[in-house]
Amino acid sequence: MVDIEGFLIDLDGTVYLGDTPIDGADGFFRTLEQNETPYLLLTNNSTQTPLKIANKLKSMGIRVRPEHIYTSAMATGDFLRQEYGEKRKAFVIGEEGLLESLLSINWQLVENENEAEFVIVGLDRKLTYEKLERASLAVQQGAKFIACNTDSYLPTPYGFLPGSGAIVCAIETTTGVKPKVIGKPEPIIIEEALSQLGTPKEKTAIVGDRLETDIEAGKRAGIKTILVLTGAKKEEREIKKYNPDYVFKDIGELWRDFLKQRKNLLF
Considering the chain, what is the average pLDDT of its residues? 95
CATH topology of domain 73-181: Rossmann fold (3.40.50)
| Nearest CA among 70, 54, 62, 23 for reference residue 255 | 23
Angle, alpha carbons 98-101-105 (nearest 5°):
140
pLDDT of residue 264: 66
| Catalytic entry in 12, 78, 151, 209 | 12
pLDDT for res 267: 47
DSSP annotation string for 141-186: TTPEEEES----EEEETTEEEE-HHHHHHHHHHHH--PPEE-STTS
DSSP three-state, residue 62: coil
What's the confidence (pLDDT) of residue 263?
74
CB 149 within 8 Å of CB 181: yes
pTM of the predicted protein model: 0.94
Domain ranges of the chain: 73-181
Q: Give 221-233 pLDDT, tens digit per residue.
A: 999 999 999 988 8
d(CA 153, CA 159): 10
Q: Which of 3, 10, 26, 209 is catalytic?
A: 10
Known active-site residue 10: yes
Query: Over the stretch 45-68, which tens digit does the pLDDT of each residue have?
Result: 999 999 999 999 999 999 999 999
* Average pLDDT for 191-213: 97
Query: 151 catalytic, yes or no?
Result: no
